[in-house]
Chains A and B, each alone.
Chain A
């Protein structure tokens, strides 16, 4: 007989064993990442919507990056409403003629639309986007109110 409290992890501070497992898995990942690569493994739970996005910030701006190979700048739509940024488009893979025989077909075509909400207020009018070598980078300047300001003490 198993004791009833076997899944009770309250002693570790979490009521949900799965949350606890997830926390442990992340710690293990971080640890092995440090050993193998000398840097913590930073991947977080992905939203699972194409394209995957990375979001970084510095004191002036937010930076959103995505890998979009084979997609030209003109095939991409970027929209920002308030703090929500949407990246959409369609990846087309042209047919290569009727007579070809495929050995591998791993690249996929299709439409996509991904939205991300930025964590702070932004100056959406000044959003800039560049596409280079299949990499998209969107720069969204932070709202003036969010930028650090030096206060002079008289």
Chain B
């Protein structure tokens, strides 16, 4: 099963074109799972170091933007010995083809994982089409 294999290192992906950056620092694209059921779309994003007051979720004209700020976690008098990863902001955008009920969006952050529930608006839910025999 998938749960018993060994985890491989996955380098953090730096955002390819950090356009429109107003503050200096690295920007990474978080790893995500996105899945859809009949009623909602769920997005899970790995954003270690982000606290709930530093995450921003925006949905505008079908474009979902998630971003998160990470505070530097080292004290100023610490010296680097081994540096295998960098910390920085997280930023990622998605285009949603479904119509989302904006009022009912829920976001939860636990152990550095963001869980975003985007309920589909009534008219986007699948409908059974009955074919009438002619």
The 24 listed contacts between A and B (C-beta, < 8 Å) are: A44-B83, A46-B85, A48-B9, A50-B7, A53-B84, A54-B80, A55-B81, A57-B81, A58-B75, A63-B78, A67-B85, A103-B36, A104-B33, A107-B44, A107-B46, A109-B2, A109-B7, A119-B81, A131-B111, A133-B49, A133-B51, A133-B109, A134-B111, A137-B73
Q: By DSSP majority rule, is chain B's interface helix, strand, loop, or mixed?
A: loop
Tier of interface size on chain A = 35 or more
Instruction: Show the binding face of B for A, using Cβ within 8 Å.
Output: 2-11, 24-26, 31-38, 42, 44, 46-51, 73-75, 77-87, 109, 111-113
A92 on the B face (CB < 8 A): yes
Q: A134 near B113 (CB under 8 angstroms)?
A: yes
Q: A102 near B24 (CB under 8 angstroms)?
A: no
Q: Please, how many angstroms separate the alpha-carbon atoms of A93 and B111 in the complex?
A: 13
- 108-141 of chain A: CB within 8 A of chain B: 108-112, 116, 119, 131, 133-135, 137
A22 on the B face (CB < 8 A): no
